[in-house]
């Protein structure tokens, strides 16, 4: 891809905005369309675009496969951890209402953290799937 | 205080442990987590069963959202019993896994193996405990996807093909199930099982509900390997790693049968099911044909693991036969056979795993003379085999006793005769193995083998002794199965 100047420049320009959009979809998900899954896919897509244009080796420098696997597990753990935290605060499993002083704030905090967990795992899984296939036969 | 949260903990613990195994990255640590969680899950399910038997069904509102809107976990005597089977088998096979996994799976995949194992456990327990029809599908996918991974880790390259075959069939089954649930939702406007059961009466004469029923029974028929939808099963069991075969053979099909029972009896209701033209007769015919066809195929298998896999298809036939009587005795027989078959197949596959550990093959030619070289393992196999045949004082006898009683209760003598006749087929395939192991000389061109290590033998023998114990003292198994059958038929708590 070294010779495709247009592709490289456009990719470099757009990747930061893709990340930004992913974060918008992530954190605005509880007010508008969006949420963890969609944000995770967009976030992962930025990495995949980078790997397509600049090669798998460069992408692996940014996100080594072990780090990606770590985030797959960490996201799920965050999700389940919120559930357990609700238990410890005296509510039912995944009852976000007890996480803050008043019910609505607790619900807000809970769904935000849970969706963040979903986003992290989905982004990491997207990247891992791409890396696994791109790495075959090398 | 914590006792009130047992239904959530039953699922949450293995679910949290699975990513934890990935973070630990060490096979041994992941194994320790798996053992600890499996035993805790067993403790929780015993507590749940005791609570249910003492004070009736337990309902747990996940996330604090009230029942018809939120997801409800609902434990009654039917699923408390199945939870006990799944977590019990996991608690026994987790310690067994250590050496078997080191032997069969490359070291860098160990922590991922345990992670997938725990996810599979989560899924199976989740299917059983949930009171929400869509939630069943979610857990069904969790358990299925992780079991495809587990099967594909087998040493033989054919394991990947077997897993792929299972993936295709399993996905079709799950999709059919989901279509069925979707149609029910369209007709009743609810996904909560208890709520569906209340509302389905008003719409039960519609073609949509009938179609939903068809989709769900066929979809679950695929998952539980009901003849002739069993084609994925023999290869999946034969080529999976030993401990995976033990775990899946003893739990996965049982859970699918439980789901079938739950949907047919609780959601649609016995009356609806009996109204469906020829359903009972059709299930009975399939069950009996399955018993015979699979048993006869088992006789001609040279790979013993594959032989037992075909035998599993036959055993599923017995369970469905019990169900198809639509009577308390028949259902008791079917449900008690869920438990008993988990015991016998668990013991048999564990003995086979021990043989594979020492010999490196489960081909019938390679087990010549093992009766002398691995006496404890082979004797465990013999008792498991006797149980499979249904000799008195083993659990297999109890199951067949109730099936025959159920047949006689209706005056269907030929069915009782067929059950007895099919046991003779089991004698044939079990005897083939016993004869080769005890009455042939060991092969001279292979190195001598010694008895399997204790960490494999002890779990095997725990299950073997359970085969005998529950064959003599049936208060727990038949007692709970009888209560469960009455709950399903709407005759009691």
- Residue B116 has a pLDDT of 94
ipTM of the complex: 0.91
- Residue A102 has a pLDDT of 86
Residue of A nearest to B23 (CA): A70
What lies within 8 Å, CB to CB, of B67 at 6+ separation is: B59, B61, B131, B192, B194, B195
Q: Which of A70, A74, A80 sits opposite B12 (nearest CB)?
A: A80
- Residue B1 has a pLDDT of 65
Are residues A87 and B8, on separate chains, in Cβ contact within 8 Å? yes
Instruction: Provide the 8-state DSSP code for B26.
Output: -
On chain B, the residues whose CB falls within 8 A of the CB of A71 are: none
Residue of A nearest to B6 (CA): A93
Residue B261 Cα to chain centre, angstroms:
14
Across the strands, what pairs with B75? Answer: B58
What averages of pLDDT result for each successive group of 10 residues across chain B (493 residues)? Answer: 84 92 90 94 93 89 84 90 93 92 89 93 94 93 94 90 93 95 92 89 87 93 89 91 93 92 88 80 91 93 92 93 90 92 93 90 86 88 92 90 91 89 91 89 78 89 92 88 88 64
Q: How far is B149 from chain A (nearest CA, A)?
A: 14
On chain B, the residues whose CB falls within 8 A of the CB of A92 are: 5, 8, 60-64
Residue B232 Cα to chain centre, angstroms:
15
* Chain A / chain B CB contacts < 8 angstroms: 53
- Residue A1 has a pLDDT of 59
- Residue A97 has a pLDDT of 84
* A128 contact B CB<8A: no
Are residues A95 and B64, on separate chains, in Cβ contact within 8 Å? yes
Measured CA angle at B112 (ends A38, B8), to 5 deg:
65
Are residues B19 and A69, on separate chains, in Cβ contact within 8 Å? no
Are residues B64 and A92, on separate chains, in Cβ contact within 8 Å? yes
Q: How far is B13 from chain A (nearest CA, A)?
A: 9
**What count of other Cβ atoms lies within 10 Å of the Cβ of residue B493?**
12
Q: Which of A70, A86, A87 sits opposite B23 (nearest CB)?
A: A70
DSSP characters over A76-111:
HHHHHHHHHHHHHTTS-TT-GGGSSSSHHHHHHHHH
Are residues B64 and A91, on separate chains, in Cβ contact within 8 Å? yes
Instruction: Provide the 8-state DSSP code for B132.
Output: B
**What count of other Cβ atoms lies within 10 Å of the Cβ of residue A94?**
24
Q: How far is B399 from chain A (nearest CA, A)?
A: 38
Where chain A has pLDDT below 70, the residues are 1-2, 137-138
Residue of A nearest to B115 (CA): A73
Q: Which of B12, B23, B60 sits opposite A83 (nearest CB)?
A: B12
- Under a CB-based contact definition with an 8 Å cutoff, are residues B237 and B248 in contact? yes
Q: Which of B16, B26, B63 to mutate to test the interface with A (most CBs of A within 10 A)?
A: B63
Are residues B61 and A92, on separate chains, in Cβ contact within 8 Å? yes
Which contiguous run of DSSP H or E holds residue B72? strand B72-75
- Residue A96 has a pLDDT of 85
* A47 contact B CB<8A: no
**What count of other Cβ atoms lies within 10 Å of the Cβ of residue A93?**
23
Q: Which of B19, B40, B160 to mutate to test the interface with A (most CBs of A within 10 A)?
A: B19
On chain B, the residues whose CB falls within 8 A of the CB of A114 are: none
* A52 contact B CB<8A: no
For the entire predicted model, the pTM comes to 0.93
| Numbered residues of chain B with Cβ closer than 8 Å to any chain A Cβ | 5, 8-9, 12, 15-16, 18-20, 22-23, 60-64, 115
Q: Which of B220, B221, B236, B233 is nearest to B158 (CA)?
A: B236
């Amino acid at each position: 891809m070294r010779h495709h100047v247009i592709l490289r420049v456009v990719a470099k320009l757009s990747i930061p905005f893709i990340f930004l959009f992913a974060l918008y979809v992530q954190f605005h998900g509880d007010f508008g369309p969006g949420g963890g899954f969609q944000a995770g896919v967009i976030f992962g897509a930025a990495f995949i675009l980078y790997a397509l244009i600049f090669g798998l080796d460069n992408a692996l420098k940014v996100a080594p496969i072990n780090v990606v696997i770590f985030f797959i597990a960490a996201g799920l753990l965050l999700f389940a951890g919120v559930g357990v935290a609700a238990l410890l605060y005296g509510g039912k499993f995944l009852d976000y209402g007890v996480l803050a002083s008043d019910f609505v704030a607790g619900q807000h905090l809970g769904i935000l953290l849970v969706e963040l967990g979903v986003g992290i795992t989905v982004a990491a899984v997207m990247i891992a799937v791409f890396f696994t296939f791109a790495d075959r036969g090398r | 205080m914590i006792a009130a949260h047992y239904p959530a903990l039953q699922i949450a613990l293995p679910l949290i442990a699975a990513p934890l195994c990935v973070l630990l990255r060490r096979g041994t640590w992941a194994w320790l987590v798996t053992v600890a969680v499996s035993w805790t899950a067993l403790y929780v399910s015993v507590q749940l069963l005791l609570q249910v038997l003492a004070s009736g069904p337990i309902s747990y509102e996940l996330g604090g959202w009230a029942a018809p809107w939120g997801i409800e976990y609902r434990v009654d005597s039917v699923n408390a019993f199945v939870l006990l089977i799944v977590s019990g088998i996991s608690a026994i096979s987790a310690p067994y896994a250590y050496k078997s996994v080191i032997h069969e799976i490359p070291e860098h995949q160990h922590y991922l193996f345990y992670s997938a194992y725990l996810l599979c456990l989560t899924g199976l327990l989740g299917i059983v405990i949930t009171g929400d029809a869509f939630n069943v599908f979610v857990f069904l996918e969790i358990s299925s996807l992780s079991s495809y991974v587990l099967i594909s880790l087998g040493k033989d390259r054919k394991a990947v093909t077997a897993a792929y075959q299972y993936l295709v069939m399993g996905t079709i089954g799950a999709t059919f199930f989901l279509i069925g649930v979707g149609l029910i939702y369209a007709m009743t406007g609810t996904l909560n099982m208890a709520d569906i059961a209340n509302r389905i009466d008003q719409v039960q004469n519609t073609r949509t509900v009938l179609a939903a029923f068809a989709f769900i029974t066929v979809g679950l028929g695929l998952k539980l390997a009901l003849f002739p939808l069993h084609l994925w099963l023999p290869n999946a069991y034969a080529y999976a790693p030993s401990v995976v075969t033990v775990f899946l053979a003893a739990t996965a099909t049982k859970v699918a049968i439980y789901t079938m029972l739950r949907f047919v009896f609780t959601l649609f209701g016995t009356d609806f099911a009996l109204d469906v033209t020829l359903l009972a007769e059709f299930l009975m015919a399939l069950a009996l044909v399955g018993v015979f066809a699979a048993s006869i195929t088992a006789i001609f298998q040279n790979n013993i693991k594959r032989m037992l896999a075909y035998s599993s298809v036959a055993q599923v036939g017995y369970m469905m036969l019990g169900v198809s009587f639509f009577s308390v005795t028949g259902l008791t027989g079917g449900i008690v056979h869920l438990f008993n078959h988990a015991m016998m197949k668990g013991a048999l596959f564990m003995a086979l795993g021990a043989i594979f550990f020492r010999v490196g093959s489960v081909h019938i030619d390679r087990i010549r003379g093992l009766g002398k070289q691995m006496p404890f393992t082979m004797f465990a196999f013999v008792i498991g085999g006797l149980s499979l045949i249904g000799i008195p004082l083993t659990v297999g006898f109890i199951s067949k006793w109730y099936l025959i009683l159920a047949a006689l209760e209706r005056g269907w003598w030929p069915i009782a005769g067929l059950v007895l006749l099919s046991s003779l087929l089991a004698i044939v395939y079990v005897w083939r193995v016993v004869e080769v192991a005890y009455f042939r000389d060991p092969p001279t061109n292979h190195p001598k083998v010694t008895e399997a290590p204790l960490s494999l033998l002890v779990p095997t023998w725990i299950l073997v002794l359970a085969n005998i114990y529950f064959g003599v003292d049936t208060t727990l198994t038949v007692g709970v199965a009888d209560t469960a059958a009455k709950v399903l038929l709407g005759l009691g708590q």
